[in-house]
Structure 1
Amino acid sequence: MKSPNKYLFLFLMVSSTCMVASSSNWLTTWMGLEINMLGYIPLMFMKENTSESEAAVKYLIPQSLGSTIFIASAIVSSHFNNSQILMLMAMCLKLGVAPLHFWFPPVMASLQLTPAFILLTWQKIAPILAISSFNPPLVKSIMPIAMISALWGGIMGLNQTDIRSLLTYSSISHTGWMLASISSNSIILIAYLTTYIMINSSIFTFLTKESASSYKQLFSPKEPTKLFILAVSILSLGGLPPLVGFVMKLLVLMNTEAKLIIILGLVIGALTSLFFYLSLTFSTLLSFNKMRMTKTEMTSSQTIMFLLSQILPLSLILFFF
């Protein structure tokens, strides 16, 4: 982000999310979602190449379609209450949850790491906050989508070798868990979002300093401490106990009002995701007892982000509970 105008678009993106969080009517919510989309699109252009232009178009079309369905359904909902389900579907399209995720992996594959990180984390906040503002009986109607998203993200991740594709399908799976947490408690939703963003921050902090695309290149023996931190962060994202990612999923399961079949689908999707994350990091963890850690490595930015990603969400849980 060398251009000063990037900071203006970043401010628009952040302020529009705050606008959605504080809105009291559907028109203000729609305006916040539109400003959020328009503020993010210029941030997608880091190297000004053709793939980024293609990604911007692939992102713009489904987002515009979702916004159009949302505002049209909001207008019609004043006469027909049943049309509000279309507003939920529009938000699911903007989130990129299964089976409305057709635009999400191609966009992620064409982006640089910084806009990809924003798309995986911050761009999920506004649609999820919009969904959480619906009536609880209406929110429960999208619990099957949460289950399908968790299952699909876990199954599709099994065939991936690119680390960015793995994070993409993991994001689809985690979005299903976020939708399930909406029916439980707003505190748990905020804590889950914070946990997810912090763990991804730890992973992307490592990825920005590496030029690896496949997981075999990523986990080649270079610096032992950094590899261990990356492996633990990925396992925390997968929900391995007793890491903080597992604690958040356990809180969702303990407090959600979803049916048993939905909970089973979420658990199976989480176990599938954990399986390919374990297979990805297994060799690194086994060879760690042969490695040596140095003092200079332990003071790196990767270590600081790792500690924050594991400690900050737990502190948030202790503060509210």
Structure 2
Amino acid sequence: MKSPNKLLFVFLLVSSTYLVASSSNWLTTWMGLEINMLGYIPLVFMKENTSESEAAVKYLIPQSLGSTIFISSAIISSYFNNLQILMPIAMCLKLGVAPFHFWFPPVMASLQLMPAFILLTWQKIAPILAVSSFNMQLTKMIMPIAMISALWGGIGGINQTDIRSLLTYSSIGHTGWMLVSINSNYSILIAYLFTYILINTSIYSLLSKEDSKSYKQLFSVKEPMKIFILSISILSLGGLPPLVGFVMKLLVLMFTEAKMMIIFGLIIGALMSLFYYLSLTFSTLLSFTKTYLTKSQMMSKQMMLFFLSQILPLTMILFFF
């Protein structure tokens, strides 16, 4: 961020999320969502080119539509309770879950890496917290949307070889899992959201250090160690056991109150996501022989810390259960 005024918009981004998390009425929640949207749009302009302007407009229109539907439904629902269902649908539009994801892939394709990372991670917190504040009846109504989103996240990424498209459809699928985790336990929702952000942070930290401007190819980095860590992070995002992404999905399945058909759809979507992640990373992982992995340059402190952060959650669950 070259401009110092970007710090103001980052502050608006963070403070608006806390406003949504601490709000006690729909008006405050709507204000927090609007401030969150207005704080993010200036952060989109990193290079100040036409593609970023197009991405900002494509982001602004569905977000404004979702906010309008949300506040209108909140006002009218005091007279007609049947219209409360529009409130979680408005949040699903703001989250970009299927079948309301029409704006999400084009926006991600036009963004630079840093705004795209913020859109994948931080911008999901406020709408997810708003959905978690709904009553149980409304959250159960959006379970079919969560199942469709998980399935579409697996189907949409099958033929993708671009890192941005993979992360986009992975985000659509993981958002479906987050919506289902709302119906299980609030602590599981927070843990799932936090784990998802950490895994994306590891992928972003590897991609941001490269000199390439496109960041399009999945394994464009030249160092074998970075390719290996990137592969493990992507497999963890796909939910391969015993990595941490699998542990969080297992917790959701254990404690959710969703119907069996919803759970079956989530599992099918996760398996499809894991299929194309394995197909992309399998040849890369096989290239690392046992002799090469035992070299001293591969056993650095950062490498050991990375493996502990990916495998330790499973050992903790086996210890307590």
Classify the TM-score, shorter chain: over 0.9
CA–CA distance in structure 2, aligned partners of residues 268 and 118 of structure 1: 28
- Corresponding residue of 2:197: 197
TM-score, length basis structure 2: 0.93
SS of structure 2 residue aligned to 1:158: coil
- Corresponding residue of 1:30: 30
Q: What is the identity percentage for the equivalent residue pairs of Structure 1 and Structure 2?
A: 78
Identify which of 217, 227, 231 aligns with 1:214: 217
- Corresponding residue of 2:300: 298
Q: CA RMSD in A?
A: 2.2
SS of structure 2 residue aligned to 1:209: coil
- Corresponding residue of 2:74: 74
- Corresponding residue of 1:264: 264
Change over 3 Å in CA distance of 1:183–1:107 after alignment to 2 = same
- CA deviations 1:203-229 (Å, max 9, x no partner) are 0111112324123x536xx32221111
Conservation of the 8 A alpha-carbon contact between 2:242 and 2:311: no
Q: Could you list the runs of 5+ residues in structure 2 that have no partner in the other structure? A: none
Change over 3 Å in CA distance of 1:263–1:79 after alignment to 2 = same
Conservation of the 8 A alpha-carbon contact between 1:12 and 1:35: yes
Conservation of the 8 A alpha-carbon contact between 1:191 and 1:313: no
Structure 2 counterparts to residues 99-178 of structure 1, below 5 A: 99-178=99-178
- CA deviations 1:214-268 (Å, max 9, x no partner) are 23x536xx32221111111110000000100000000000001110000000000
CA–CA distance in structure 2, aligned partners of residues 188 and 64 of structure 1: 30
SS of structure 1 residue aligned to 2:158: helix
2:216 aligned partner, one-letter code: S
Change over 3 Å in CA distance of 1:311–1:43 after alignment to 2 = farther
Give, in angstroms, the shift of residue 291 of structure 1: 3.4
Give, in angstroms, the shift of residue 144 of structure 1: 0.3
Structure 2 counterparts to residues 244-263 of structure 1, below 5 A: 244-263=244-263
- CA deviations 1:95-128 (Å, max 9, x no partner) are 0000000000000000011110000000000000
**Segment drifting more, 189-198 vs 226-235:** 226-235
**Segment drifting more, 42-51 vs 308-317:** 308-317
SS of structure 2 residue aligned to 1:41: helix
Conservation of the 8 A alpha-carbon contact between 2:243 and 2:314: no
Conservation of the 8 A alpha-carbon contact between 1:225 and 1:297: no
Report the number of matched residues. Answer: 315
2:292 aligned partner, one-letter code: M
Conservation of the 8 A alpha-carbon contact between 1:195 and 1:313: no
- CA deviations 1:165-213 (Å, max 9, x no partner) are 0000000000000000000000000000010000000001111123241
Give, in angstroms, the shift of residue 269 of structure 1: 0.1
Runs ≥4 residues deviating over 4 A: 311-318
CA–CA distance in structure 2, aligned partners of residues 123 and 312 of structure 1: 28
Conservation of the 8 A alpha-carbon contact between 1:74 and 1:87: yes
TM-score, length basis structure 1: 0.93
